[in-house]
Amino acid sequence: MSETKKTLIVMSENAHRNFLAHIKDLPTAIQHAGTVEAARQALAAEPDVDLIIVDDEIPDGDWRDVAEAIKRNGVKASLLICTKERGDKEMFATSREINMPDILQKPFAPAMVRERVEAALRQGRRGPTEGASVPSHPATPE
């Protein structure tokens, strides 16, 4: 039997409820953190997660703060960013430093959410600098 995957979702309570509706039946144990600080605490206490999904509209920070917590705690999880932006140079550079498999550009269709989360879970954990894959919506490095 395969090991249960673990997912940390970092977004507001309302956004979390909406997002969860699209992935609730996937084979992953889901933990919610409503703030960057809650995500930092969760990752410090339990760095053994497979996927971190972070919204770009978090009350006390943004995806960069979560990426920093990933690096600081040696977390080997994939990072999936939900954002209104297509991606910028900073996102592209971060995707090379940590395992950021994709960017979910808002607004997104339920099927797209499910597809991207399933793909990230299949990819599994890797080290923060093991050659992260380039997101499907990366910034163009110039």
3-class secondary structure, 81: strand
Q: Are strands 5-10 and 28-33 parallel, antiparallel or unpaired?
A: parallel
Q: Where are the domains of the chain?
A: 5-123
Q: How confident is the model at residue 18 (pLDDT cuts 50, 70, 90)?
A: confident
Q: Are 99 and 77 a contacting pair, CB within 8 Å?
A: yes
3-class secondary structure, 1: coil
pTM for the predicted model, two decimal places: 0.80
The pLDDT tens digits of the residues spanning 59-116 come to 899 888 888 888 888 888 888 888 877 666 776 666 666 656 577 888 888 899 999 8
Q: Which CATH superfamily is domain 5-123 in?
A: Response regulator (3.40.50.2300)
Report percent pLDDT > 90 for the chain.
27
